[in-house]
Structure 1
Amino acid sequence: MRIGKIIRRIVGSALPPALFIGLTAYFGWNVMRGEHGLHSYAAQLRLLDEANSAQKDAYAEQQVWLRRVRGLKENTLDRDLMDERARSMENLARQDEIVVPYGPHDRLY
């Protein structure tokens, strides 16, 4: 009987701290590595930065295309510029024209 009381007393005094330590460890692990923990939060921030970067790139490309499309509207087209551009792309020139060569990195438009 005496051994049973001693075991009961040891278990009774050790069980609450052991449960508390176990719960603290469980919640601590979830705070760090759980589905909504700090590691997941850092990964989500990296994904957000990548998405913002991709959005900026897409917006810049969209602006380039909008500028090109606006240049194709009927009231903005200049026949001389179209003729010059078509001949420069085909590498043709008339005899009465002056040809100004451009470097390989210079833009014509």
Structure 2
Amino acid sequence: MVIRRRLRAIFFPLFLYCVSGAAAGYFVWHALNGERGLKANDEHQARIAQLHGQLDALKAESATWRRRIDLVNGAIVDRDLLDEQARVVLGRADKNDLVVMLPSK
């Protein structure tokens, strides 16, 4: 009887500590590695930063194109830009242009 009480007094708290430690470990592991954990949050923040960089690049490109379109479609047409675009589309060169022919490989 005395041995049984002594074993119960030792093993029962030990068992409770192990169960509570396992439960705490489970929640800590999922807080770090789960699909909504800290590591996933860091990955999401890195992806958001990457997408913001792409968005800024696309906004800059859009602004460039808007400026070029405004130069051609505006009330005052930029003659140099219009001439450049016409030459590109028609495949022509002006008599004052220097044309360099590169050999094809």
TM more than 0.5 = yes
Note the C-alpha offset of 1:100. Answer: 6.4
The answer (yes or no) to whether the contact 2:72–2:81 under 8 Å persists in 1 is no
The correspondence of residues 19-30 of structure 1 with structure 2, limited to 5 A, is 19-30=19-30
Structure 1: which 5+ residue stretches go unaligned? Answer: 94-98, 103-109
Residue equivalent to 1:66: 66
Q: Does 1:90 align with 2:92?
A: yes
CA RMSD of aligned residues (A): 2.8
The correspondence of residues 1-109 of structure 1 with structure 2, limited to 5 A, is 5=5, 7-78=7-78, 81=80, 84-85=83-84, 86=86, 90-93=92-95, 99=96, 101=98
2:75 counterpart SS class: helix
Instruction: State the identity %.
Output: 20
Structure 2: which 5+ residue stretches go unaligned? Answer: 100-105
Partners in 1 of 2:31 and 2:82 — Cα distance? 67
Higher relative contact order (CA 8 A, sep 6+): 2
TM-score (norm 1): 0.67
TM-score (norm 2): 0.69
